[in-house]
Amino acid sequence: MLKVKVLTIGKCREAWLASALAEYEKRMQGHVRIEWAIAKNSDQLLEWAAQEPFLIPLDPKGELLDSETFSRKLLRLFEEKGSRLCFAIGGAEGLPKALLNRFAFHWSLSPLTFTHQMTRLILVEQIYRAFEIEKGSGYHK
Amino acid sequence: MLKVKVLTIGKCREAWLASALAEYEKRMQGHVRIEWAIAKNSDQLLEWAAQEPFLIPLDPKGELLDSETFSRKLLRLFEEKGSRLCFAIGGAEGLPKALLNRFAFHWSLSPLTFTHQMTRLILVEQIYRAFEIEKGSGYHK
């Protein structure tokens, strides 16, 4: 079983988001488990992040990848990091500089600004898509 | 009242998507009206697109914009095109070349591939965000 931990801020308020996330988590059941660590503010996020030896910060100014490149990168990282990966999504002000500075690779989903709720959904859908690309299923087409 | 027509393919099947789209459409009520033109295949989309003198095709290989730049572009286009704009979202194979070739500007939401359902949500959220940026509301922060 592969594990993905997502550090983020603020509760999931929208019912549609909870339902969309549940759909993708269900599709990955038995294969990938998503653990949501929802901090109450940036300080708590920073504290939790300090306990992670490796983390992928999501940042609009980070590196843009296409889904095929992300798929290869994700699979390689799962191998390198012992089947466990951690992502961090910032709140309204983005991620603290102190966190960004610790890691060389920052991933940008898009130069567009998304709500952090939509960012969660895009992240989970891209993780699901990454495995479908590897399997060669028709999903990603 | 501003009008946005979205040409796309395939029904909205997921309940969460219908509910998320309804939320943003409600927030823009009385100001922007979104009209969904859902074609049954690429040929029908192409036929409908042929009736549009101006259209913005969404294409992963198009131009990447940040939300502030999209906001300025959207507002300028609404002025130039008489308060009515049309976007086109392709199906699994993207938009037909014949359609793409008619318009100089193609917009890329991200180099990532999204489901066309998620593309609809991102498009509507960015249109909503564009007006919030112009109003200077706190939403986009």
Short-list A7, A69, A68, CA closest to A38? A7
Q: How far is A67 from chain B (nearest CA, A)?
A: 5
Joined tokens for residue B4: 């946005």
Total structural domains in chain A? 1
> Is residue A141 included in any domain, yes or no?
no
Q: In A1-141, which ranges are continuous DSSP H helix?
A: 15-27, 42-50, 67-80, 97-100, 116-135
Number of C-beta neighbours around residue B9 at 10 A: 19
Is residue A129 included in any domain, yes or no?
yes
Contacting residues for B119 by C-beta, under 8 A, at least 6 apart: B58, B89, B109
Indicate whether B140 belongs to any domain: no
Task: Measure CB to CB from residue B110 to each of A16, A23, A109 and give the nearest one.
Answer: A109
Q: Could you tell me the pTM of the whole model? A: 0.94
Interchain pair A122, B114: CB under 8 A: yes
Nearest by CB: B109 against A65, A92, A110: A110
For residue B141, being part of any structural domain is answered with no
ipTM: 0.92
Across the interface, which of A67, A93, A115 has its CB nearest the CB of B112?
A67
Chain pair A-B, CB pairs under 8 angstroms: 74
Asked if residue B45 belongs to a domain, the reply is yes
Q: How far is residue A131's CA from residue B17's CA, in Å, rounded to a whole number?
A: 23
Examine residue B127 and state whether it is found in any structural domain, yes or no: yes
pLDDT tens series, chain A, 141 aa: 999 999 999 877 788 999 999 999 999 999 999 999 999 999 999 999 999 999 999 999 999 999 999 999 999 999 999 999 999 999 878 899 999 999 999 999 999 999 988 999 999 999 999 999 999 987 765
Report the CATH number that the domain containing residue B61 is assigned in CATH: 3.40.1280.10
| Domain extent for B108 | 2-135
